[in-house]
Amino acid sequence: MLALWAVNLARSAGAVAPAWLWGSHGRPLALARAAGAPGTWGWRHPVPQEPRGRAFGLSAAAVVSAAPRPLQPYLRLMRLDKPIGTWLLYLPCTWSIGLAAEPGCFPDWYMLSLFGTGAILMRGAGCTINDMWDRDYDKKVTRTANRPIATGDISPFQSLVFLGGQLTLALGVLLCLNYYSIALGAASLLLVITYPLMKRITYWPQLALGLTFNWGALLGWSAVKGSCDPSVCLPLYFAGVMWTLIYDTIYAHQDKRDDALIGLRSTALLFQENTKWWLSGFSTAMLAALTLVGVSCAQTPPYYAALLTITAHLAHQICTLDIHSPADCWNKFTSNRTVGIILFLGIVFGNLWKEKKTDGAKKNKDSINI
């Protein structure tokens, strides 16, 4: 498997949508304090006393704190101070848009901006729905007691109005696309509705999340091209699903004790000590699918160099993962944003490389004709 085959490589390596996607991890909260478990569910961070990663001078949390005070509860309700979920939702869209660009051209910046706006809006809407459903539990759990609805900074009615505003704006983003993409986006609603229930009935809620979060891998291509090319879009979508299984299984290891106590399920509980083997399998499948994408799109060396870099990153991530350390799981989880960015850059520069090869071939052809 990947992690065991690439140990030496890993040791030398350093060490993520639019209106139709679900933007929050969406796990309902439940009180477990009586059982000795202080945790809750959702796109949550580990306990405050444990380090969560590097601090940045201009962090999203600092920007939210600097906003006018009346706006801050709404920005926190959208989780604008915790942007990792938005990245993981947005990056598969960028891959698809980049692959759909004409040879030698940059991706469509308008589409990138449109999808980025949609990702922010829908992630915020998903978090708002989650907090509205769980406000009574949030008040009783230390980690979530300071959420805006739980503290009374925002009333249920105000949150409902705010949700309506977010969804209206997100719908406006969707309607900017072609008819095929509007229909394709609407087709994801079933996933959006059913995903939050999966953790109650299956040990594979991470798979449901992957199917939902990576819908942009299909939609980005169709937004540019007018339809989906199965030879590109399907393996790209599959690769995104495998990627989600990697990062969200790591994430779920933070919650496994609480999940076991309250009866919720996850791949972390299913895999347990065999987690690294499963993650290696998901990584191998992801990289194989991305290789197929490259072949289908006639990609060039920069793309495959990005895949090699991602291989090293994932190998290091899996080999050094401590599934019993919430802090380490959080750091490994957030590092997957780097994976998504590397792939996007590989797609962009790989596409630009095509123009150089074309120009070179044209010059050779012209010199032969002369």
Q: Residue 50 pLDDT > 70, yes or no? A: no
Instruction: Summarize pLDDT for 123-142 with one digit per residue, the tens.
Output: 888 778 777 876 765 565 45
Residue 366 lies in a domain: no
Question: Would 125 be classed as within a structural domain?
Answer: yes
End-to-end CA distance of the chain: 54
Q: What is the mean pLDDT of residues 215-232?
A: 95
Share of the chain above pLDDT 70, in %: 76
The alpha carbons of the chain give a radius of gyration, in whole angstroms, of: 21
pLDDT digit string, tens, across residues 29-40? 333 333 333 333
Residue 59 forms part of a structural domain: no
**Average model confidence (pLDDT) for the chain?**
81
Q: Is residue 57 in some structural domain?
A: no
User: Could you give the percent of the chain with pLDDT greater than 90?
Assistant: 50
Q: Would 107 be classed as within a structural domain?
A: yes
pLDDT, tens only, 1-10: 444 444 343 4
CATH of the domain at 107: 1.10.357.140
Residue 317 belongs to domain spanning: 68-356
Whether the predicted pLDDT of 23 surpasses 90: no
- Confidence band, pLDDT 50/70/90 cuts, at residue 184: very high
Is 7 inside a domain boundary?
no
Spatial contact of 35 and 261, defined as CB atoms under 8 Å apart: yes
Q: By the 8 A CB rule, do 84 and 43 touch?
A: yes
Indicate whether 124 belongs to any domain. Answer: yes
CA 269 to CA 257: how far, in whole Å?
9
Cα 290 to Cα 29, 240, 308, 339: the distances in Å are: 36, 9, 11, 13
Distance CA 367, CA 154 (A): 71
Higher pLDDT, 287 or 370: 287
Compute the average pLDDT of residues 5-31: 40
Total domains in the fold of the chain: 1
DSSP result, 55-89: --TT-HHHHHHHS-GGGHHHHHHTTTT-THHHHHH
Residue 144 lies in a domain: yes
